[in-house]
């Protein structure tokens, strides 16, 4: 046996598993669950204090590779993912050049093979992300993309978007929409409201998100296609999506931990590390996002991991939007939702592992004999402070910097190999 995890709380809602048990792994596969006496090359004794979840999957990250590797690259992005408990990620295509052709897709896939986890490219909806001409979905799928998006901007031409949705019914690729109307935003840098007025900076009206969300749902409904709404941040969008789901529209959506943790009051510090697109909103919006996660309106939690170099983030008003999040996502979710008694570990597994894979049409990871051994072994009660300099990401623009969080990933196992672990902890007998 290659790896034996003893006395671990195994949690997998896919097979109603919730028990302290042993997990045996050989040749990349889970070979035994239960009381195991067989010797192993590596033993991790969880002592009943650690939990094993199916390996996490983030369907919305930016690794900036190719073209902006001073911010992040596939290797450093994957290192951050592994530290956070992720055994797979989907990389958005707004790189330089953008991922709109088979050559760039292959560049990402080939480089990703060396990371130890699944790093899957998302292809562009339109060539050059210019909203002028559709990409060939069949070509991109054959090359290896897992979905389509012009993330970083919406597809501005509504008819092109409708055609892309129509084509997706044949290609089987999910279309992921960044719902922010750029003309409504019109140069705004934070949420439009009391805080933007107090700071004297231009705000981003929430109508920019709500309008495109409603547009995408109307387009998907018109052709009977699936649409996925990225990084939901407003009560308006939540209400639109909830009503659409009630009416039978095939719509899914995601949000990030910062949207159910913080509000735009964080911007009073004039620190650009708290700026992202869409922006932090009001307390009413924050509550709406949390409610939507708990009632199932929001399908999954992502990070929208968006690294930027320190010098780029130095000026509050001119800095690019985006925050890193792969190493804090699980901890923030445990802190805000699990330790407040609002959801259990099964729900977190659904939000952060199972549903993202399902939405993209990927096989889900299961804690069961015969399944690929992809696990996040976590300490739900581990308390720690987020120190940006200690993050694995090349960039350190964390919205959770200085925050004390409760819960941490300790071991990431992908395809039966330990791809991340702490230097040594007292409960490790290996």
Tell me the C-alpha distance between 262 and 259, whole Å: 6
pLDDT of res. 423: 73
- Active site annotation includes 381: no
312, part of any domain: yes
Domain shared by 100 and 234, yes or no: yes
Average pLDDT over residues 63-77: 98
Measure the CA–CA gap between 139 and 141, rounded to whole angstroms.
Answer: 5
Structural domain span for residue 408: 3-52+370-420
Are both 41 and 110 inside the same structural domain?
no
Regarding whether 410 and 332 lie in a shared domain, the answer is no
Q: How far is CA 354 from CA 59, 86, 87, 234, in A?
A: 11, 12, 12, 24
| Cβ neighbours, 10 Å, residue 366 | 18
Shared domain for 87 and 151, answered yes or no, is yes
Residue 208 within a domain: yes
Instruction: Tell me: do 188 and 110 sit in the same domain.
Output: yes
73 assigned to some structural domain: yes
Q: List Cα–Cα distances, 67 to 72, 96, 98, 363, in angstroms.
A: 10, 4, 9, 30
| Token pair belonging to 142 | 């054959």
For tokens 């050989």, name the residue: 26
Please report which confidence band the pLDDT of residue 422 belongs to, taking 50, 70 and 90 as the band edges. confident
> Tens digits of per-residue pLDDT, 88-110?
999 999 999 999 999 999 999 99
Our count of domains for the chain comes to 2
Catalytic residue among 58, 304, 374, 379: 304
For residues 227 and 354, membership in a common domain is answered with yes
The CATH number linked to 406 is 2.30.40.10
Q: For residue 420, what pLDDT is reported? A: 98
Structure tokens, 62: 């930016």
Q: In the chain, count H helices and then E strands.
A: 13, 18
Dihedral angle sign, alpha carbons of residues 402, 68, 179, 227: negative
Two structure tokens written together for 414: 């992908």
Specify whether 244 is located in the same domain as 386: no
**315 and 206, same domain (yes or no):** yes
Strand, coil or helix: 196: helix
CATH of the domain at 86: 3.20.20.140
pLDDT in tens, 280-319: 999 999 999 999 999 999 999 999 999 999 999 999 999 9
Of 311, 337, 359, the residue that ends a domain is 359
Alpha-carbon distances of 422 from 366, 377, 412, 416, rounded to whole Å: 24, 11, 10, 17
Collapsing DSSP states into helix, strand and coil, what is residue 356?
A: helix
**pLDDT digit string (tens) for 379-414?**
999 999 999 999 999 999 999 999 999 999 999 999
Identify the domain boundary among 337, 359, 381: 359
The residues facing 279 across adjacent strands are none
Q: How far apart are CA 383 and CA 380, in angstroms?
A: 9
Closest CA to 406 of 379, 429, 426: 379
In a domain, 430, yes or no: no
The answer on 187 and 82 residing in a single domain is: yes
79 burial level (CB within 10 Å; 0-12, 13-18, 19+): buried
Q: 176 with 233, same domain?
A: yes
Query: Does residue 428 fall inside a structural domain?
Result: no
CA distance 260 to 333: 9
Together in a domain, 46 and 79: no
pLDDT at res. 424? 59
pLDDT of residue 427 exceeding 90, the answer is no
Tens-place pLDDT, residues 210-221: 999 999 999 999
Whether cis (ω within 30° of 0) applies to the bond prior to 278 is: yes
pLDDT at position 428: 43
**Looking at the domain assignment, is residue 365 inside a domain?**
no
Q: What is the DSSP annotation of 123-187?
A: BPSBGGGSSSSB--HHHHHHHT-SEEE-TTS--S-HHHHHHHHHHHHHH-PEEEE----HHHHTT
Q: Is 425 a member of any domain?
A: no
Chain mean pLDDT for the chain: 97
Please give the average per-residue pLDDT across 150-167, as a whole number: 97
Residue reference for tokens 């001073």:
70
Q: Are residues 93 and 195 in the same domain?
A: yes
Q: Which pLDDT tens digit goes with each residue over 106-154? A: 999 999 999 999 999 999 999 999 999 999 999 999 999 999 999 999 9
Within a domain: residue 429?
no
């Amino acid at each position: 046996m290659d790896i034996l995890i003893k006395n671990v709380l195994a949690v997998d809602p896919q097979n109603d598993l919730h028990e302290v048990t042993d997990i045996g792994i050989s040749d990349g596969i889970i070979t035994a669950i239960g009381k195991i006496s067989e010797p192993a090359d590596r033993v991790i004794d969880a002592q009943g204090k650690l939990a094993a979840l199916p390996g996490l999957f983030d369907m919305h990250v930016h690794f900036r590779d190719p073209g902006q590797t001073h911010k992040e690259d596939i290797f450093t992005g994957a290192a951050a993912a592994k530290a956070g408990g992720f055994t797979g990620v989907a990389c958005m295509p707004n790189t330089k050049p953008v991922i709109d052709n088979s050559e760039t897709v292959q560049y990402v896939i080939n480089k990703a093979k060396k990371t130890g986890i699944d790093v899957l490219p998302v292809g562009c909806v339109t060539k050059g992300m210019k909203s002028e001409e559709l990409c060939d979905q069949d070509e991109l799928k054959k090359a290896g993309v897992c979905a389509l998006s012009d993330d970083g901007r919406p597809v501005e031409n509504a008819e092109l978007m409708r055609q892309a949705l129509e084509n997706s019914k044949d290609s089987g690729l999910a279309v992921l929409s960044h719902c922010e109307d750029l003309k409504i935003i019109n140069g705004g840098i934070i949420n439009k409201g009391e805080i933007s007025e107090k700071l004297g900076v231009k705000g981003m009206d929430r109508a920019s998100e709500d309008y495109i969300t409603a547009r995408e749902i109307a387009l998907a409904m018109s052709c009977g296609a699936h649409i996925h709404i990225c990084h939901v941040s407003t009560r308006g969008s939540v209400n639109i999506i909830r009503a659409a789901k009630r009416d039978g529209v095939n719509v899914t959506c995601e949000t990030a931990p910062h949207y159910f943790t913080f509000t735009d009051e964080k911007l009073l510090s004039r620190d650009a590390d708290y700026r992202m697109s869409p922006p932090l909103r009001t307390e009413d919006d924050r509550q709406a996002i949390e409610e939507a996660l708990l009632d199932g309106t929001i399908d999954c939690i992502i990070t929208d991991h968006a690294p930027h170099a320190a010098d780029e983030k130095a000026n509050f008003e001119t800095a690019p939007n985006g925050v890193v999040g792969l190493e804090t996502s699980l901890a923030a979710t445990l802190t805000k939702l699990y330790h407040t008694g609002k959801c259990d570990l099964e729900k977190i597994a659904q939000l952060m592992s199972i549903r993202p894979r399902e939405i993209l049409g990927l096989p889900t990871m299961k804690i069961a004999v015969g399944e690929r051994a992809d696990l996040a072994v976590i300490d739900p009660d581990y308390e720690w402070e987020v120190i940006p300099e200690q993050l694995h990401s090349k960039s350190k623009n964390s919205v959770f910097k200085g925050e004390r969080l409760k819960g941490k990933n300790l071991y990431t196992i992908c395809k039966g190999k330990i791809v991340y672990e702490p230097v040594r902890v007292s409960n490790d007998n290996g």
